[in-house]
Chain A
Amino acid sequence: MYVVKRLFTMLVTLWVIVTLTFLIMHLIPGDPFATDSKAIPEAVLENMRARYNLDKPLSTQYVLYLKNLLTFDLGPSIQSKTTDVNTLIARGFVPSALLGIQSMLLALFAGIMLGTIAALHHNRALDFISMFIAMLGISIPSFILAPLLIKYMAVQWGLLPVAAWGTWKHTLLPTFALAVTPIAIIARFVRTSMLEVLHQEYIHTAEAKGLPTWKIVLKHGLRNSLIPVLSFIGPLFASVVTGTFVVEKIFAIPGIGKYFVDSIFNRDYPVIMGTTIFYSVVLVVTLFLIDLSYRFIDPRIKLSSKGA
């Protein structure tokens, strides 16, 4: 029941996002043809506006857009005359998703490891080393790290290839650049919350009945300390998505992030809306899954007044 309700509100959320994005887009003064309007005769311009429905009243444009959206048609791109938004997203999806998922997984794995190690060796050398690494990771933004990685790892020392997008090796440097900050943030969250959990009674009980350390850490420690971490996965995901904007720009990766940034400067309405809606769907679904997972990790958290 709860799941059905949440699914319904998810759709409402998406509708609100589509509407807001649509309104915001059309509040921006200037239209896509504003720059070369002098070179093109008025009649041609009219035709071009008509082609993209820009001559119709805003309400009609909105209805048309919603109708197309229901058939998963995100419309044509204005800038590149031959391809539509669906094609653009499909084209950019593979590099972006690969980059995003790889760095999320790397961040979760390395972050939880680093945080747990630090908490288990509280105030000892390993704790300080882990937290120093985390501190560096938080302090150095990806758009500073990425050019340095290119200069040293790729150009100076020639360890890994860049400036092309072909083999898996090409994904390593961008993935690392994207994951560094999330690793550090997750490590700190896990450490803080793990330290708290390790002082709980049930941990002492587990120790007292002679459970091996790894079992205490995995079954009792990690599971209980992941709640603050969970509420961070949403923003983490959003930051990885926005991170792909700069990382794709610096590494010249043909992903959705690149199309999105380009479309903003070009006032390419359909592409802006299409990519925004695409990101929104992925994000909203992710948040939904996170909300559900709270319950699996800690049954004490009630999802609604009727449940449990």
Chain B
Amino acid sequence: MNVTSTKLDQPLDHLFHPVDRSQLADQTLAYTSVPMWKDKIRKLVRNKLAVIGLALLLLIMLLAAIGPSLLPHSPSAQSLTQTNLPPSAEHWFGTDDLGRDVWARTWAGARISLLIGFAAAAIDLIIGIIVGGISGYMAGRSRFGDRIDSILMRIVEILYSIPYLLVIILLLVVMKPGILTMIVALSITGWVGMARVVRGQMLLLKQQEYVLAASKLGTSHAKIIFKHLLPNAAGIIIVNLTFTIPAAIFSESFLSFLGLGVQAPIASWGTMANDSLGVILSGQWWRLFFPGFMISLTMFAFNAFGDGLQDVLDPRSHQ
């Protein structure tokens, strides 16, 4: 062969070539690392359902912001000459039995639903992770740990067992009825579900070998909780959160539907649906359809987006 037959004292220069710079550039480009968040966003965008959900959410928020001003009707303005009109160019979603514009009332209701949903879910998440995390992590660790777990779980159990309508009625008496009362009332009982889910995950995860390894290597409790347990529970926590926001929105409409939520003349999807019960059989479909459709669409949007988010954020979810 050519190379082996060459004597060692002969120059080997002909075997070496100057590197083609452009090729080198190509190689570095191929190995450029993508920041993690960019990668996550790219994955999220690839998920059609998540994109549809996000787009719908943005649309609902936009319409909640500007919707009422697109038509010259106030959500609470009555007009007794224009009652029970079907949808038309003048009233896009029709009018109700007091002549109020259903379009304006629907978007005024959207503002209330979104505000209550976001605020209550945020509070639920924080309290739920703290309580569930502490409880699940401490259980079985020591006598003291068991006691803490037991106390926290009794509180959770009690809150579970009192129908939340009672809590809300109490708060409506102590505080001024309204949106803030609703948020407080929903989160006073709402965090309980999150806490139980987090605790269940903690109980399961802390038996795993990597937690044992970490603790034997002297990792602090806080680090084990935040670096090992919570990230591994994130999937279930996010699945639960995608229920928490629409669940709060649902509860608001549910209570308003029963007549315990926001009070007249404030419009809410729940009160609008309740008002339409009597007229649905007589054919005024728009009174139930629009608020009902918006509740469903909002919940669909949140769930679709949450699902996509879960596929991206949960390290163990397999696409």
Contact = CB atoms under 8 A, between A and B. Distances in A.
Interface string B144-170: 011000100010011011111111011
Contact of B277 (A147, A232, A241, A298): A147
A143 B254 CA distance: 8
A304 B141 CA distance: 9
Contacts of B58: none
A231 interface: yes
Interface string B192-228: 1100110111011001000000000000000000000
B98 to A, nearest CB: 20
A141 B254 contact: yes
Nearest to A257: B163
B50 interface: no
B161 A13 contact: yes
A27 B174 contact: yes
B116 interface: no
Interface in A254-308: 260-261, 264-265, 272, 276, 279-280, 283-284, 287, 294, 298, 300-302, 304-305
A199 B317 CA distance: 10
A230 B201 CA distance: 12
Contact of A280 (B145, B162, B170, B257): B162
Contact of B163 (A9, A232, A241): A241
A129 interface: no
A301 to B, nearest CB: 5
B242 to A, nearest CB: 9
A280 B201 CA distance: 26
Interface residues on B, range: 35 or more
A265 B167 CA distance: 14
Contacts of A16: 154, 158
A141 B258 contact: no
A47 B166 CA distance: 28
B154 A234 contact: no
Identify whether the interface residues of B are mostly helix, strand, loop, or mixed: helix
Interface string A188-228: 11001101100100000000000000000000000000011
Interface residues of A, number: 67
Nearest to B190: A235
Nearest to A192: B239
A252 to B, nearest CB: 11
Given A17-B162, A138-B299, A9 B150 contact: yes
Given A232-B193, A250-B277, 14 more contacts: A13-B161, A17-B161, A21-B166, A27-B170, A138-B300, A141-B254, A143-B253, A143-B257, A144-B288, A241-B163, A242-B165, A264-B169, A283-B161, A298-B204
Interface of A: 9, 12-13, 16-17, 20-21, 24, 27-29, 122-123, 131, 135-136, 138-141, 143-144, 147-148, 150-151, 155, 185, 188-189, 192-193, 195-196, 199, 227-228, 230-232, 234-235, 238, 241-242, 245-246, 249-250, 260-261, 264-265, 272, 276, 279-280, 283-284, 287, 294, 298, 300-302, 304-305
Report, nearest first, the 8 A-B pairs whose CB atoms are least far apart: A144-B292, A139-B300, A280-B161, A231-B200, A139-B299, A139-B296, A283-B161, A235-B193
29 contacts: A9-B150, A17-B162, A27-B174, A28-B173, A131-B307, A138-B243, A139-B299, A140-B299, A141-B292, A143-B273, A144-B288, A144-B292, A147-B280, A150-B281, A151-B280, A195-B318, A199-B316, A228-B236, A230-B200, A235-B160, A235-B192, A241-B163, A261-B258, A265-B259, A276-B162, A280-B161, A283-B160, A283-B161, A304-B140
